[in-house]
Amino acid sequence: MSNGLRRLICCLITFVALACAAVRAQGQRAGQGQAQAAKPDSPQVLADIEKAKALAGTTWALEEHVICDLPSISPAVDPGPQKLFDNLYAIPGAYSAGSGVIYLITTTAGIIQIDSGLQKDVETVYLPGMKKLGFDPANVKIVIITHGHADHFGGAPYLQQHYSPHVYMSASDWDFMQLAPPPAQGQPAIPPKVDMFVSDGQPIVLGDEKVTPVLIPGHTPGSLGLIFPVKDGGKSHTVGIVGGGMLPQGSPDQMRVFLHSLDHFEEWTKKMKVDVELQNHPIMDGFAGKLTALRARKSGDPNPFVVGQENYSRFVEVMHQCVQVYIDRRLQ
Ligand SMILES: [Zn+2]
């Protein structure tokens, strides 16, 4: 793809993402389904949905429903901070469409944090979560921002002021966040200072841990997928996070960019043998149920977040198919 074409696609995505954010800022967001056409689905769309359902099976039925049907999503109850793997922890907050999960990866040289949540949640969700898990926020050395919306970067300036972690993200989403309007919550979204712009496939290294970022433009121009190893009772697994999995409400052409990103991400996840599925907005993958199962887990039981390589690919493919549903709905 030429640089000119890439820039054009980037601008188009930026435009639609800004339009989306403006709608949210007006308090009109009641879920993902705002732009959904009122007219009945065409035979083509119905066939697309059937294909998504077949791909989803029972394992990813919720994902198919959330992404293909675009229901309104209400804030969920905070399940509390939780250790997921030997070296991975989650601080969920109210993990709805408007507030994501912060993940902490422990390494031999400190903590890598994924996303920083909303600025308003730092003192009420993030810091108490760190304390409950037994961590010192000063031990966070790197914060990776998955994309340039305030529910992912809003808390980062506070962390930089108080604890001086390095912030890593994509260059195109740093540009994007300079333009983005305040979030619907009414808080001014102050962008963090960025210490490093990440590149597609170039690992972020801290101590004995490597996180591989994959550029997946779609939800925003520079959204990141993340892939990294974890251990469960000493056994190795690999996590995949689609760090911008909520559908952008763009034109069919813009959504085709997201389709391409999902293909690109799936290639990476296959190459790196991803077998653990996590989301930064875990509203489509049974997160709450898995947390409950993990808390009740007995010695020898499987870790509910390990889905296997084939199921992980199907998770990405269901998302891909639901983007196709969205495109065909817009074209009908
Ligand atoms: Zn977002």
Element (H, E) at 166: strand 166-169
d(CA 79, CA 81): 7
pLDDT of residue 50: 97
* Distance from the alpha carbon of residue 301 to the mean position of ligand 1, in angstroms: 34
C-alpha 162 to ligand 1 mean position (Å):
25
Q: What one-character DSSP code corresponds to residue 42?
A: P
Distance 115 CA to ligand 1 centre (A): 11
CA of 219 to the centre of ligand 1 (A): 6
Domains of the chain by start residue, with CATH: 3-25+38-331 (3.60.15.10)
- For ligand 1, the distance from its centroid to the CA atom of residue 298, given in whole angstroms, is 36
- In contact, 78 and 92? CB cutoff 8 Å: yes
**82 C-alpha vs ligand 1 centroid, how far in Å?**
23
**Which stretches of the chain drop beneath a pLDDT of 50?**
1-37
Residues 6+ apart with CB under 8 A from 236: 229, 230
- pLDDT for 245: 83
Q: Are 64 and 318 in contact (CB under 8 A)?
A: yes
pLDDT for 99 equals: 75
Please give the pLDDT value at position 58: 97
Q: How far is the CA of 33 from the centre of ligand 1 (A)?
A: 15
pTM over 0.85, yes/no:
yes
Ligand 1 center from residue 261 Cα (angstroms): 16
CA atoms 319, 52, 248, 70: torsion sign? negative
Which of 138, 132, 82, 84 has the alpha carbon at shortest distance from 111? 138
245 CA distance to ligand 1 middle (Å): 8
| CA 189–ligand 1 middle distance (angstroms) | 13
pLDDT of residue 179: 82
Distance from the CA of 234 to the center of ligand 1, in angstroms? 34
Structure tokens at 103: 């993940």
Rounded distance from Cα 254 to ligand 1 centre (Å):
16
Output the CA 31–ligand 1 centroid distance in Å. Answer: 13
Report residue 204 as tokens: 């972020």
| Separation of CA 311 and ligand 1 centre (Å) | 25
Residue 143 near residue 166, CB atoms below 8 Å: yes
For ligand 1, the distance from its centroid to the CA atom of residue 303, given in whole angstroms, is 28
Neighbours of 141 (CB within 10 A): 17
